[in-house]
Structure 1
Amino acid sequence: MLELGASSLTIVGIVAVIAVGALGVAVVLRRQVLAADEGSPAMQRIALAIQEGAAAYLNRQFRTLALFAVVVCALLFLLPGDSGIKIGRAVAFLFGAGFSAAIGYLGMWLAVRANLRVAAAAQYPGGRTEGARIAFRTGGVVGMSVVGLGLLGAAGVVLIYRGDAPAVLEGFGFGAALLAMFMRVGGGIFTKAADVGADLVGKVERGIPEDDPRNAATIADNVGDNVGDCAGMAADLFESYAVMLVASLLLGKAAVGEQGIIFPLIVTAIGAVVAVLGVAITRVRGNENGLRAIYRGFYVSALVGAGLAAVAAFVYLPSSFAAFDGVSEGLAAHPGDPRLVASAAVVIGVVLAGVILWVTGYFTGTTSKPTLHVAATSRTGAATVVLSGIGVGFESAVYTAGIIAAAICGVFLIAGGSVALSLFLVALAGCGLLTTVGVIVAMDTFGPVSDNAQGIAEMSGEVGPEGAQTLTDLDAVGNTTKAITKGIAIATAVLAATALFGAYAAAVAESLEEIIAAGTQGAGGVVAAMLSYSIISPVTLVGVILGAATVFLFSGLAIDAVTRAAGAIVFEVRRQFHEFPGIMTGEVRPQYGRVVDICTRDSLRELATPGLLAAFAPIAVGFGLGVGPLAGFLAGAIAAGVLMAVFLSNAGGTWDNAKKIVEDGHHGGKGTEAHAAVVIGDTVGDPFKDTAGPAINPLIKVMNLVAVLIAPAVVQMSVPEDANHALRVGIALVAAAVAFGAVIASRLRAARVDAENEARAEHESATLG
């Protein structure tokens, strides 16, 4: 066990204090948000319906996931290892899952109260400035909570378990990632089912505005913004933060020993200070574009974070690699200055965040050429809108993936070719990127809060034309910030997955060393092939193909789930318009609760399949084919995941803002065929950008963490002469059966829903005929 010195423990204690301070800042910002004007009674009634729907959904979702978390926690005890570490890992898993859930719930709870206040602020002079301030500080509360709980969890484990903390933190990261993936999938299905259903019936069929109170899906749509974009994204970014800390501590311990555990904590603690600065200085000045103010706050805080991290490196780290406590012989001969190397890695991460921000903004912004082009294609119909948006998504995925790859290459170069050091520096670059996580979360929450505010204003009918335009502008800014934060989250996911890839290799190597030292390793042949990392090996290449295929299958399942749920919403909204003609004249109030119930039921029903696929696919590959093919599986998932996630996110963001451009009066404006075309494009993009795309981020980290956790067991059941290969193959078959059984169950459910929808369509036709 690696012992931490008194000075190191003191630093960790200071980090824990900073974490508590970040939570204190969150409390202060929360009070500022809640102190704002709540608007008229009509606005408050609409906001209350949104609050009740969001709380009811998350409460039911957490009850569903609690059982799953308990089962997974029990399974962690089956893994090999020291009993004390296993207990710590299981407890840390529950804390990681609990913190992720708490962050998600907090994001939702405050957002459904801030939306009302932003809508109220738009009624008065200076509403743009005040509305932007409220929306951004709402996100600031969530951002500071992400930083505070993430740091507190990591620092607490280090203080308790000292040198064994990285192994225990595997459970913390796994719990955070697993719950975030479920929240992303469930919330994404809910929000996009309601959104697509509301748009198709309201805008396209009935020709009424997006948030018209006559549309029965409007409340569910606004609820969905909060359970999907606020709760889901907050949990996603928290798990990115937690997993990056886990990876950096694991690799830091392996590369340089004690300092490798402490320095990543210092860098992320600096991020807490930077988050306060970023939230404080982000202010919209007069008629300034809100996006420009947010960019300014982000870039200033990023530069300050990079500078402070460099100062910390020169103060804390030694001037040569040979001076590290636990450095290997090969790394000890590295000629570079570790202070410069570490600073450069952090700067690469910060620069990566800034470049991704710019690139994503370019491809999805309302004033950028790609989005203007997609909007212009609306003049020739929905097909060209969809095709042009797909083209933008594919192109942006290539550039984004290339930028991330360039960052990883840059880290490899400054590592001097040392694989162990380069992997640790990749994790440090991720920590550098996440020094801005407080501002990133604030940017993301800005979107759904401003979107909800526009909905409340339109449904209440109490905001004048000037205030309505203010909210429209804020909503357009929010669409871009949501796309940007998705891009940054994807970059974080790739860096974290790459670092975890290295942690997986280290776990395999450690287990092999134990077996070799015991002199019980088996012969060559199949066993040797199972251990081979060579991409030329056919069985390893099979792993690569399966990893990429899992990403495609996961994305298809998520989009298909939205399609089924949205179909049910379309039929329900149509039914209400038909059975209650007074809805269109305003004499009858729509049954909003029925739509919320359908969204809740369908999203929770679809929750299990993607989660089971993510958890059991790597188990099936690892135990069935070996650690080499499992490495290929992870590589395939990372490569396909980054391209698929960026494509889905940016294509959806482009379609959304192309719709905004047409609705602002271009190409004919609202109510025209061009408007109908961009609405259809937007409905195609909704499950892309808010369900499948974002859920890929936690997916690849869950699969990497599962691989890290099972690696010792796979080695122990594959390599020794007396290995129980029958049991190993049996575990693989059971895991494959669970994963494919979930997919088959989803297909059967789809067939049943199709039959139900066909019956509804026939009933509709007979009634209307």
Structure 2
Amino acid sequence: MSVSTLAQGLELTASDRVVVGVVAVVALAALAIGYMLLREVLAAGQGTSKMQEIGRAVQEGAAAYLNRQFRTLGIFVVIVFVLLFALPADDLGERIGRSIFFVIGAVFSATIGYLGMWLATRANIRVASAAREPGGREKATRIAFRTGGVVGMFTVGLGLFGAALVVLVYAGQAPKVLEGFGFGAALLAMFMRVGGGIFTKAADVGADLVGKVEQGIPEDDPRNAATIADNVGDNVGDCAGMAADLFESYAVTLVAALILGTAAFGLQGLLFPLIVPAIGVITAVIGVYITRTRQGESSLTTINRSFYISAVVSAILCVVAAYLYLPSTFGDLNPTDTGVLADVAEGGLQDPRLIASIAVIIGIVLAGLILWLTGYFTGTEDKPVKTVGESSLTGPATVILAGISIGFESAVYTALVISAAVYGAFVLSGSITVALFAVALAGTGLLTTVGVIVAMDTFGPVSDNAQGIAEMSGDVEGEGVDILTELDAVGNTTKAITKGIAIATAVLAATALFGSYRDAFTQALAKAGVALQDAGTAFATEVFAPNTLVGVIIGASVVFMFSGLAINAVTRAAGAIVFEVRRQFRDNPGIMEGTVRPEYGRVVDICTRDSLRELATPGLLAIFAPIAVGFGLGIGPLAGYLAGAIACGTLMAIFLANSGGAWDNAKKLVEDGNHGGKGSPAHEATVIGDTVGDPFKDTAGPAINPLIKVMNLVSVLIAPAVVAFSVGDTASTPVRIVIALVAVGIIVAAVMVSKRRSTAIADTPAEKPVG
């Protein structure tokens, strides 16, 4: 009998319900603490009237964009809700629960994203104002970090509360229902990541190319019509998009852990993955409240210290929880996978407490290693970024080559560290089910730090916006300017770090989901009365099987296609911004003289229109590519497809994120007075490098993280249907082929429509740069 079938018979005892209830209360406490932090941030001074005026423009633009985006995404949510309900399930209750919690996961993801945007657009003026006051560095750092702390608390609170609620209501069926919850969170996060990334980088690239390169004016000069859109983009891309991204990482990792924990440890395996993130709430509170800058200390040192302290506290408390809650032998557990006890006896550790403790510690150590690695390759004080800065002396070509080189190298080291963590967790047990559960627990261990991770990420765009508002208003001078410049550079590094950690969670969750994917199709085969070895070549999952290898190649190709679509979308949208900003400078000479106000709203409207138009194609590719492979080639090639997407996606995401981060901070290095400073040929070279890196690090790279998890969850959800149309009484090759062809047709049509848009700029009458 399969894992899922056995799990349905599990019922929570009174003591189990108490444990889940306590977890739910901890989740609600996280929301309450988040609200307290929110009030503290909003109580800070809002600066001058000019700052507040600029802040309101950013607030209005960000809210208008997200409102339009949510209306667009609402259509996708309705369509997927219907499709999910149509997919096979063991009973009607499970089907209804899966579909309803898909919507709840999507709503929670959207809520986290909106909150991140709403608060960040109000915190930026408060950070700018704090930089003007005595003790400005400590005050500004605290406000920016606690803004992220609010979002972090809501991320862990909503994610943990949603999972606890499903477990309380559905007990043994919870893992299947949670597939819908995780899918909803992942799908919304991917769309918000792609759409917000296109918006922010179209505005940023357009502003830099015309403002800095052609006109020679500062980055956030109020005469540049794209400046407000650039500040809006930081919030809808980094704050809203990344907050939703980390929430779905949290939700999907919990889904994988709960599915495999039930199989490996029984009820205690269902509940322990809830206890670990509950501990993460405690450590997140510690991490946020101990973030205080010491005299003469950089803000990055302060933030890193908070992260490491919270990580150590998490490790200690998780080990204590494992030894208090779990038994010392597998004989005292009741795993739903009947082969676990026999497999465990053959090798690996025999103590469930020790397996769980080491697995969680592996995840926490992985987070710390990625923080250090990413900080080294993207920080302004280390050799890689200094090397990129030095390359600016010989022009933009060498800047780009140096940044690409750093991206490739850092991707290798980070991928090896992630692989070591996966392998280290996997070899803890001789049972494949327990080993996969250990990988999932490593993911939950990593995410015990998610509250601090979200705070680190939000710190970046809030600081960036604060510097922009200060420059546009002209109301911050002297030391305040230096403080905001430092915080902006630190924010670039913290954003790169959180992207590295996010892709690590994607790999851990995706690896763990392989277990639930295999269970999904073996259960369907059992229902059809067919043994796996008798199912045929379409079900062969060995890597040396040619059809599986084809799946690997297709999976890797989809990552390349997805990245290309995202970057090309930024290229087209940025081109439209360049023409608009040039037009305004040409038609209104008073703008350059400072006597005429630019039409900021037109640029915001262009970014909004183009980003919402462009996000559909990458989204459709992520959803329908697994469907095409699964129904067209079979379960085996679909397993290979996922393996190829995970391997290629890991390297591609890290390469894009770290290359972009290195280029951005190399620009900051030159702007600080190195290699000729602002206005020098070296500065122009680094601006071009940063412009290339913008869609790398803030659009394509981060979007690969939810892409991997969306494709994994789609595969898990469709596996029973693929089997049903492949073997047994319900087998129908024509139906299977028709579904595959329809999926391929949708992908081809979406890509063709996207490609046709690429002629829009070429069709525009030729315009010459101004100046």
Q: TM-score range by the shorter chain?
A: over 0.9
| Backbone CA RMSD of aligned residues | 1.3
1:237 equivalent in structure 2: 246
2:676 equivalent in structure 1: 668
1:722 CA displacement: 5.1
CA contact (8 A) 1:132 1:284 kept: yes
Question: Among 420, 429, 436, which residue is 2:449 paired with?
Answer: 436
Question: Among 170, 174, 186, which residue is 1:165 paired with?
Answer: 174
CA offsets 1:196-238 (integer angstroms, 9 cap, x no match): 0000000000000000000000000000000000000000000
Give the 5 Å matches for 1:148-547: 148-326=157-335, 328=338, 329-331=341-343, 333=345, 336-415=350-429, 417-516=430-529, 528-547=536-555
Greater CA drift, 189-198 or 335-344: 335-344
2:126 equivalent in structure 1: 117
Q: Structure 2: how far apart are the matches of 1:501 and 1:651?
A: 30
Question: Among 633, 646, 649, which residue is 1:625 paired with?
Answer: 633
1:755 equivalent in structure 2: 762
Percentage of pairs with the same residue? 69
Give the 5 Å matches for 1:12-161: 12-81=20-89, 82-161=91-170
User: What residue identity is the alignment partner of 1:178?
Assistant: L
1:754 CA displacement: 3.1
Give the 5 Å matches for 1:654-665: 654-665=662-673
Greater CA drift, 715-724 or 58-67: 715-724
Matched, 1:650 2:658: yes
1:689 equivalent in structure 2: 697
Q: Structure 1: how far apart are the matches of 2:316 and 2:598?
A: 55
1:95 CA displacement: 0.3
1:4 CA displacement: 1.9
1:744 CA displacement: 1.2
CA offsets 1:386-412 (integer angstroms, 9 cap, x no match): 000000000000000000001111112
1:521 CA displacement: 7.0
Q: 1:722 to 1:44 in 2, by over 3 A?
A: closer
CA contact (8 A) 2:199 2:607 kept: yes
Q: 1:522 to 1:500 in 2, by over 3 A?
A: closer
Q: Structure 1: how far apart are the matches of 2:494 and 2:157?
A: 23
Q: Secondary structure at the match of 2:667?
A: helix
1:724 CA displacement: 1.1
User: What residue identity is the alignment partner of 1:530?
Assistant: A
1:750 CA displacement: 1.4
Q: Structure 1: how far apart are the matches of 2:423 and 2:547?
A: 27
1:522 CA displacement: 11
Q: Secondary structure at the match of 2:528?
A: helix
1:465 CA displacement: 2.0
Unaligned runs of 5+ in 1: none
CA contact (8 A) 1:191 1:223 kept: yes
Q: 1:265 to 1:521 in 2, by over 3 A?
A: closer
User: What residue identity is the alignment partner of 1:491?
Assistant: A
1:331 CA displacement: 4.0
Q: Secondary structure at the match of 1:533?
A: coil
1:511 CA displacement: 1.5
User: What residue identity is the alignment partner of 1:691?
Assistant: T
CA contact (8 A) 2:724 2:730 kept: no
CA offsets 1:710-742 (integer angstroms, 9 cap, x no match): 111111111215511110111111111111211
User: What residue identity is the alignment partner of 2:468?
Assistant: G
Q: Structure 2: how far apart are the matches of 1:9 and 1:166?
A: 16
Greater CA drift, 322-331 or 637-646: 322-331
CA contact (8 A) 1:89 1:170 kept: yes
1:286 CA displacement: 2.6
Q: Structure 2: how far apart are the matches of 1:454 and 1:186?
A: 24
User: What residue identity is the alignment partner of 1:303?
Assistant: V
Q: Structure 1: how far apart are the matches of 2:558 and 2:596?
A: 47
- TM-score, length basis structure 1: 0.97
Q: Structure 1: how far apart are the matches of 2:681 and 2:121?
A: 34
User: What residue identity is the alignment partner of 1:62?
Assistant: F
1:153 CA displacement: 0.3
Q: Structure 2: how far apart are the matches of 1:428 and 1:505?
A: 19
Q: Structure 2: how far apart are the matches of 1:240 and 1:152?
A: 15
1:710 equivalent in structure 2: 718
User: What residue identity is the alignment partner of 1:110?
Assistant: L
CA contact (8 A) 2:575 2:761 kept: no
Q: Structure 2: how far apart are the matches of 1:331 and 1:90?
A: 35
- TM-score, length basis structure 2: 0.97
